[in-house]
Structure formats: structure tokens, C-alpha cells
Amino acid sequence: MQIARLDGVTKRYGRTEGVRELDLDVGGGEVIGLLGLNGSGKTTLLKLLAGLLFPTSGSVRVLERPARAARADVVYLGEGDALWGWMTPRDAERLFAGLYVDFDAGRFGRLCESLAVPRRTARAMSKGERGRLRLAMALSRSARLYLLDEPLAGIDLLSRERILRSIVQEWHGDETILLSTHEVAEAEGLFERVLYMKEGRVVLDAQAEELRERGRSVVETFREVLS
Amino acid sequence: MRAFRCLVWLEFRRSGVWAAALLGSLAFWAWGLFQVRAVDVAQQLGIRLLLLGIAGAIGALVLALMVGRLRGDTRAGLFQMLLMTPPTGYVHVGTRYAFAAATAALYYMGLGGLAWWTLRLSGLPLDAGTVAQLALGLPFYALGVSVIPLLAWTLLLVTFQSAYRVSGTGWIPGTVMALGTPFALRWLVNGIERVAYALPGWPVLGSVGADLIEAAQGIAEDPAVSVSLEHPALVLPQEPLWIMLALAVVLLLAAGRIWQEVEA
């Protein structure tokens, strides 16, 4: 089943092109790695799918609707902190439970436990702890499409491992996850499909299994394709 | 409804301290009014009414700042997060506004109560109708023609700023908005002046009895500040109230529309 589709999408920021002439089909139940160097268009692509950006040309459809109209069925975890300083995990639960009908408070509690999220205000948390809280909030929803933009960035090794473990545990097989990361080696085991982006284009769209059958790892292909 | 309640709670968490500080400041103003020690009763009344006027102006400023500081959401991805939530932009803008307007209503009703107390301290007897007008009618009118549209304008401005930022080409409409406001305001005031009193006036404090008039004249030594017996009732034009309330609705709809259309 198709979850999202981009047809000839170009997004310009003034004279710069974030993505250009992008065609992409995203199917249901896929875990897709979005890999590329800085400025390759990963965040732009995720924001277009989230409906946070509108394409300059082309069309973005998510669940057969314009992307923004589908936002109730989409989780977007952006790069910023996106937490108020006064917010505790309990406040976060109250906020999401009030705003999203698909929020599962029990799941949130379990995730906070497994991700070792402290019961402090966000102001008193470290960057890694805030990242883990945000991930717990995001994964506690039963959405169709999860767009995770650099959830591992700037986070210590143990926290990164916890986060990846939680993503695996909470994936039930029918949701689609698009995960952009620079921690390619650590996340590679997660991906079924990998999109390599360069200068606003998808230069390689491959199944991770196929790459491995050819004796190439996701990391090796990354170096080969993007260097 | 659940989302609306949740967003009201969010507003309370974000701006509750500001609202509590503003409402708490009423105690400070009450203390200030009580401290006025001028010998002349009319002078006392004048100073107290001046203090109430200052309290009103400061309240409007604090409320505008309370609404305006929400542009901080733009930073750190909070605006993005709110934009991704199911409630529409109109609901988000409406909740922010409702919280600020409710705080304003409580504050200005409190000031109305202090105005009644001021008159009592000056030895002016007031009947129940006048007290109701002072504590409810006048604050509602004052809010309607000033603070309500001011808050809507501020909310539009911060939504605009959150949406487009004052960078890139965004500064052009931003500058037009900032520079155009005084002209729009002048045009608005001229228009209101032209239509004022076309509808029947609102006799605020119309129930002020002859006793009050006499008492007020008795305490006023300066004939210039004495209350004229020919105009015992304060009759306010209705038009500014309805025009400004309509303007506030238009500004809020524009802010909600920006929220709906913006990129983040």
C-alpha cells in the first residue's frame, strides 16, 4: 500500500534548491533510511512529507491527501528541541493526550522507562535526555508515517543505542518510518530500504538486503555513492 | 473540545505566571490608592483616578507583552511542533487570544472594582446600578475599544513574525505592516468619529443619582473639575465598541489564516 508520493517535486529557498525534480513512492510498513551529506535535502524532503513545507513545483500526497491535510496521521520529529523548559514527561503526556487521539499513555510510560527519561523539567535535562523524551512522545502515537529527522544527532552512544532499540521495539510492521541520520553504521541494521541523497536528488534508492547480497554494506555504499 | 481544553491548559502553563502577576498587581494598586494622603478630597480623587488610568495602561502593555512573547515558540522547533498538531490555526490563535482576553477581563473588572472603592473612599455614595456599571459596564467598554483589538493586533503581528520572520523577503510585508499601522489607525479613528452617535448612545453611569452629582460638586473646589448638572450621565457612543470588536475578529481570522498557510 502506498503511503506517500512525490511527483516532480522541486523546493526552492530563494535561489537555492532544497530538492529538485524528485519522484518518490513510499510504501506502507517500510523502514527507510534517508542518508546524505549536510545540505543534501534530507530535512527538506521530510518537511515536505510532513506538510511543513509546500513544494515550489510538483505535488506531495500523503495518504492520498495533500501533505498538510494528513498531519494527524503523521509524526514529525524535527531537529530542534521542541520542548518548553517547564515541561516534564507528565506535562508532555498531558499535552499529547489532549491533542492526539492516537496517543497511547501506557506506551509513553513504557518508553520513558526503557529510554530512561528522568522525571525532571526539560530545562533540567541534558540534550540526550530531551532527545529521548521527544522520541518517547513521538513513538507513543499510532500514526501511519513517522518522519524522524536526525534523532541521534549530538546524543551519546548509550542513548543512541536506547533510541534505536526503542524504534525497533515499537515498530509493528504496518507503520512506515523515514529516518534521516548521519550515524549510518549504527542505524544500518534498521533499514529495509535506503535513499541516498545528494544535491537535492535521490541518487540511489536501494533495498538494504540487495546491497548486502551484493556484498556491500549501507555504509560502504554511502561512501561509494556520495563521496 | 478536548484539543481546545488542552491548548487552554498549554496557554496557562506558558503564560500563567504573567497572568497571575498581572492580577496580583491589583493588590499593589489597591495599596497605592489607599496611600493617597492629599488633604483636598477632590485632589485625592483626581490622584486616585490617575493611578487607575496608569494601572489600565500598564495592564494593556503587560497583556500585549504576554501575547507577544509567544513568538519565542518559533525558536527550537516549538512552532513546527504546534503546526503539526491536528487543531487548525484558528483554534491555536483562538485559544491564545481567549486566554489573554480572559486575563484582561479579570484585570479590568478588578480595576472597575477599585474605581468603585476609590469613589467610596472619597465619600461618594453609589447605588447598585452604578456599581455594576463601574465594575462591569465600563471595563467591558474600555476593553472592547482598546485592549481587545490591541491584543488581536499583537497576536497577528507575532503570528506574522513567527510565520515569515523578519528576514529574507519577509521584512517587506513586515515593514509595510509596522509602518502602515499608524495610518490605518488614523483612518480608523476618523471613520469612527464620523459615525459616532449614529446609534443611540450607551448611558454608562446613567443611574448616577442627584446625590452623587451634588456630592461631587461639593468636594470639587475647582469649578473646572466640577460635574455639570446639565450632563449628569456619561453617554458613550456604541459604534467604536462594535467597530473595534469587529476589527479584532478580522485580525484574529487573518492570524489564523496565516497559521494555516505558513511554512515552518
- CB contacts under 8 A, A 82-101 vs B, are 82-84, 86-87, 91, 94-95, 97-100
pLDDT digits (tens, 9 = 90+) for A151-193: 888 778 888 888 888 888 888 888 999 999 998 888 888 899 9
Angle between helices A89-99 and B2-35 (to 10 degrees): 120
Compute CA distances A8 → A202, B44, B162, B220, B236, whole Å. 12, 75, 29, 80, 61
Region B110-124: mean pLDDT is 86
Phi and psi at residue B66, in whole multiples of 5°?
Answer: -60, -45
∠ Cα A179 A181 A183 (to 5°): 130
Contact A79 B168 (CB under 8 A): no
For residue B231, the model assigns a pLDDT of: 46
ipTM: 0.86
B chain contacts of residue A94, beta-carbon cutoff 8 Å: 6, 9
State the residue for C-alpha cell 489597591.
B30
What is the rounded distance in angstroms from the CA atom of residue A9 to the CA atom of residue A18?
10
pTM, 2 dp: 0.85
Nearest CA-CA distance, residue A161 and chain B, Å: 24
Q: Is the pLDDT of residue B214 over 80?
A: no
For chain B positions 42-101, those within 8 Å of chain A (CB to CB) are 75-78, 80-81, 83-87
Phi, psi (deg, nearest 5) at residue B24:
-65, -30
CB of A73 within 8 Å of any CB in chain B? no
Q: What is the average pLDDT across B29-34? A: 93
DSSP string, B135-160: IIIHHHHHIIIIIHHHHHHHHHHHHH
d(CA B175, CA A197): 38
User: Distances in Å between the alpha carbon of A161 and those of A6, A36, A125, A182, B232?
Assistant: 32, 21, 18, 14, 78
| Amino acid letter, A111 | L
**CA-to-CA distance for A109 and B261, rounded, in angstroms?**
35
Q: What 3-state DSSP class applies to A34? A: strand
Given the C-alpha cell 513513538, which residue does it identify? A139
pLDDT(B208) > 60? no
Q: Say how far apart CA B126 and CA B124 lie, in whole Å.
A: 6
Q: How many CB atoms lie within 10 A of CB B62?
A: 18
Residues A131-149: tens digit of each pLDDT: 899 999 999 999 999 999 9
Tell me the percentage of chain A whose pLDDT exceeds 90: 66
Looking at residues B229-235, what average pLDDT do you find? 59
Strands A74-77 and A145-149, sheet pairing: parallel
Higher pLDDT, B43 or A109: A109
Q: How far apart are CA B124 and CA B101, in angstroms?
A: 31
Rounded to an integer, what distance in angstroms lies between the CA atom of residue A208 and that of residue B95? 47
DSSP A97-151: HHH-TTB-HHHHHHHHHHTT--SS-GGGS-HHHHHHHHHHHHHTB--SEEEEEST
